[in-house]
Amino acid sequence: MIKPHGSGRLKPLYVNDDKVRNELKKEAESLPAIVVGSAAAANAVMLGCGYFNPLTGYMNEADAVGTAEKMVTADGTFFPVPILNMVTSADISSISGAKRIALRDPNVAGNPVLAVQDVAALEELSAEKKEFITQKIFRTLDAEHPGVAAFNAPGNFLISGPIKVLNFSYFETDFPGTFRTAYQIREEISKAGWEKVVAFQTRNPMHRAHEELCKMAKEGVGADGILIHMLLGKLKKGDIPADVRDAAIRKMVELYFPPNTVLITGYGFDMLYAGPREAVLHAVFRQNCGCSHLIVGRDHAGVGSYYGPFDAQEIFEKEVPKDALEIEIFQADHTAWSKKLNKIVMMSRVENHSKDDFIFLSGTKVREMLSNGEALPPEFSRPEVAEILGQYYRS
């Protein structure tokens, strides 16, 4: 199986030893505490799961600027985005002088302790540096961009230092059959005897084009299996909830994929909508899962018209150093049903086709049809999947 990023073995930050974890929980009750932002909480979950290997905690200002500018931390570790605990001046005042603090969960009732952090440094990020980081990561400063808005919502103070994670927030309880850590996925891949695994990232339900793309990629790279890995954290308004996506994807796999070829899992992270940079982050943590390939398609991790359709593929060719990652990228074009060939195709790979030769439905049109109880074309969506989505929209 492919090695984790940056180390010979995975080093998740979750405290697995029950005795040590209970001791830390007890200690945390007497520590100075802050309720962190949702992004920092999601970062803690990802660090605990081993997805952000080899990081040991939250980055300082030098790491944040380095990863934004050149995708490299101060110690030379390749990493595509800053992993931060950004807080307000009020938060800093409440933990002044503390060497160790408790991080409380903003997304669970009662704000239980999520992690314990050793405070290596407290730094105020200047407006200029925060703007620089924002521009580099998102390629825009537009406050209407959901990722830009979320990144700039917390305060400007950074608390850096190593963390010990005590739980996985709401993801384990809300998605018990789907949420998995990176080390659990590695174990399942190993148990299945898979050597080559192609990962498919999704924050949406899967229609027939997605289904066929996974099958094309598996065949194209000679993979033993497919990891369908869905985001379970916070999304922008209008995106379909994780439980609905989960049900739709499971029904598709049950009915239309060969048995024992697909692993359906999810991860606890808030979507960045950072396009190319987020695609590289997806590659990093799929390597940590043990995947040998990641499908990077048209407008991967994008939103609106902030990124070009293939920027997320080009960043691997133009900006990611050749030896930075072991995982390989399967480049995919837009896939759609060809009326001429009566099958799903990659649009760039077929000849003598015009736009009218493909079946397209906009997201708005799909939502409108499902809300009205109308059947989606069978060339676009499997009927069993459409029914699950239709029930959601009609409710």
CA angle 71, 239, 389 (to 5 degrees): 135
Distance between CA 133 and CA 86 in Å, rounded? 13
The string of DSSP letters for 244-282 reads HHHHHHHHHHHHHS-TTSEEEEEE-------THHHHHHH
Which of 21, 111, 156, 203 is the catalytic position? 203
Which of 21, 100, 111, 204 is the catalytic position? 204
- Buried/exposed code over 330-340 (b: 16+ C-beta within 10 A; e: otherwise): bbbbbbbbbee
Catalytic annotation on 203? yes
Distance between CA 189 and CA 233 in Å, rounded? 23
Q: What are phi and psi of 22, to 5 degrees?
A: -65, -35
Q: What are phi and psi of 58, to 5 degrees?
A: -80, 145
CA angle 268, 297, 386 (to 5 degrees): 70
Catalytic annotation on 186? no
Query: Which sequence positions are flagged as catalytic?
Result: 203-204
